[in-house]
Chain A
Amino acid sequence: MMNVLEVKDLGINFGGLRAVDHFNLTIEQGELYGLIGPNGAGKTTVFNMLTGVYAPSDGQIMLQGKTLNNLSCHKIAQLGIARTFQNIRLFKDLSVIDNVKIGLHERYNYSLVSSLLKTKKYFLMEQQMEKEALDLLEVFRLHTYAHIKACNLPYGKQRELEIARALATHPKLLLLDEPAAGMNPQETEELMEVIKNVRKKFNISILLIEHDMKLVMGICEKITVLNYGSVLLCGTPDEVVNDPRVIKAYLGD
């Protein structure tokens, strides 16, 4: 099995603060991986380093053997890491389908001249783009909403649209930052199904941050627990849930 993502001794300093220290992570092809930890443990910071928002102070990030350190965000996205955000970041005033099309931007590469002069290539590409976007929306049963503004979607659907947009970049690894945040139990249930389906259908690996233990324990195959910026433990859900150190980290002594 080939490793999709390999992170070695990752660390970052914010001024004098060591936010993440000696962080290691290996994700195999097709794996559903969970990253948990108490508030402020550095989970989102890890995501931001993986996607190039922050430049790590030390350590190495490798995606299928390619080093990602010091690459810009969009380059990393093009190479195959897509993400969603803890607080939803959709293109609110654009239609649902346009949100997905922006994710498809790099896939359908026609030139500026084609855009301005409306060449055959423009029409061909736009038509294919439209079709792929609709197909992708259909996976999330969002295709009936294709032409309404993204901000008018119900909350749960907005989360799913964000995942759809991330998938549009054809990622190898999908990072989900608290996908179930703010969802009710029923929506969470649905989301679990969606995440499982996405992995199967698109044949990708998924790394997710989540506080909803039911979701994490229910779908993740492996979990890393982060506390005060360093790895506390790494193992299967059963190992993690029964480890006294994890309980201590969350609840205190």
Chain B
Amino acid sequence: MKVMEKYKEMAFWPKMFINFILILAIFLLITVLSNVGIISNYYQGIMLSICINVILVVSLNITTGFLGQLTLGHAGFMAVGAYSGAFLSKNLMGTLPDPLIFLLAIIVGGVVAMAFGVIVGVPTLRLKGDYLAIITLAFGEVIKNILLNLNIVGGASGYIGIPRYTNFLWAYWLAVITVVLSIALINSRHGRAIVSIREDEIASEASGIDTKKFKILAFVFAAFFAGVAGCLYAHYMGILEPKTFKFDKSIEILVMVVLGGMGNIKGSIISAIVLTVLPQLLVSVSGYRMLLYALALIIMMLFKYDPTLVKLINNIKNRFKKVRG
């Protein structure tokens, strides 16, 4: 049977190996093209942003899409990770080899964000829906305001002089790790427990699942990767400003999640790519940029499940299958 195969170790690893080769090939292609100069610095920057956004969107999808809890404070976790990672690497700069410092900064950024995930999550995850959304929104704003007044990390004038360690290698592979771990989580008993909470919390409890524990697990998992993404961002820009992590940023990530599809990791990756590239493409029409962006979003949402479009996509899929086998 097809699904029995899914859990056979023998069938699993060769498939993963092929996936790995594909992922590696894409990486090498982009690296080579960048080094030769076919991909300009500008596009390299966009690709870096894509990787960071993929991490943010996939991780937010764990809480919003799979756990089914609307959280609006993802930028808050990102900020916590960014500042803590940057603080560490700025103070350690020169004492250790650069990659080691960066790795340490990423881990610390993630872990600190995770700790905040626990602090915020334990008391608030009793709430649901709108209430949780408002609390997490407040959390994001509180973090921003604390950072504005925290002189040790620059306060309102920004945290400057962060070593710019982030390059495509780091961003790409961290995005890959995030996606792989997220998929692994979802396809396990832990992931099933998380999804069951979204589907019906009462039935989930009645089936013997400790819903509080799994809510926190999902929340903390997402917070960790938001922290990692923040850390990548900090070491990419070299400067951090609290206002980057405004409410708008959380919404921006949420829009990507919603567009890609709640509980759909592939969709998250695609929408992270599309919605990172789209604003850049619209630079040429500067004045109408936000207008067109909003319009594009509305059109995409309207037609995502349009029967003719779904049919068209299925046709293409089937043709593709025929060609392959």
Contacts and interface: CB of A to CB of B under 8 A. Distances in A.
B192 interface: yes
Interface in B213-234: 217
Contacts of A108: 189
Interface stretch (B90-98, B101-109, B204-212): B204-212
A250 B300 CA distance: 57
Interface stretch (B70-78, B116-124, B137-145, B194-202): B194-202
A92 interface: yes
A102 B192 contact: yes
Interface stretch (B4-12, B30-38, B149-157, B315-323): B4-12
A91 B188 contact: no
A116 B184 contact: yes
Given A74-B211, A98-B192, A123-B12, A130 B7 contact: yes
A73 to B, nearest CB: 4
Interface string A45-67: 00000010100000000000000
A120 B8 CA distance: 10
Contact of B189 (A51, A53, A105, A147): A105
Contacts of B285: none
Nearest to B208: A77
Given A89-B203, A115-B190, A130 B4 contact: yes
Contacts of A165: 207
A187 to B, nearest CB: 22
Interface string B166-189: 000000000000000100110111
A137 B181 CA distance: 30
Nearest to A162: B203
Interface stretch (A5-13, A17-25, A78-86): A78-86
A89 B189 contact: no
Contact of A105 (B7, B199, B207): B207
B193 interface: yes
Interface in A108-147: 108, 110, 112, 114-118, 120, 122-123, 125-127, 129-130, 146-147
B190 A90 contact: no
Contacts of B294: none
Nearest to B187: A115
A179 B248 CA distance: 49
Given A105-B209, A130-B7, A169-B207, A112 B217 contact: yes
B7 A85 contact: no
A93 interface: yes
Nearest to B211: A74
Interface in B123-148: none
Interface of B: 3-4, 7-9, 12, 181, 184-185, 187-193, 195-196, 199-200, 202-211, 217
23 contacts: A73-B202, A74-B207, A74-B208, A77-B206, A78-B208, A82-B207, A85-B202, A89-B203, A90-B199, A91-B196, A91-B203, A91-B204, A92-B199, A94-B195, A97-B3, A101-B192, A102-B207, A105-B209, A106-B208, A120-B9, A122-B188, A123-B7, A147-B3
Interface of A: 51, 53, 72-74, 77-78, 82-83, 85, 89-94, 97-98, 101-103, 105-106, 108, 110, 112, 114-118, 120, 122-123, 125-127, 129-130, 146-147, 165-166, 168-169
Given A116-B185, A130-B3, 19 more contacts: A73-B202, A73-B205, A73-B206, A77-B205, A85-B203, A89-B202, A90-B200, A94-B192, A98-B192, A102-B193, A102-B196, A102-B204, A115-B187, A116-B184, A122-B188, A123-B9, A126-B188, A127-B7, A130-B7
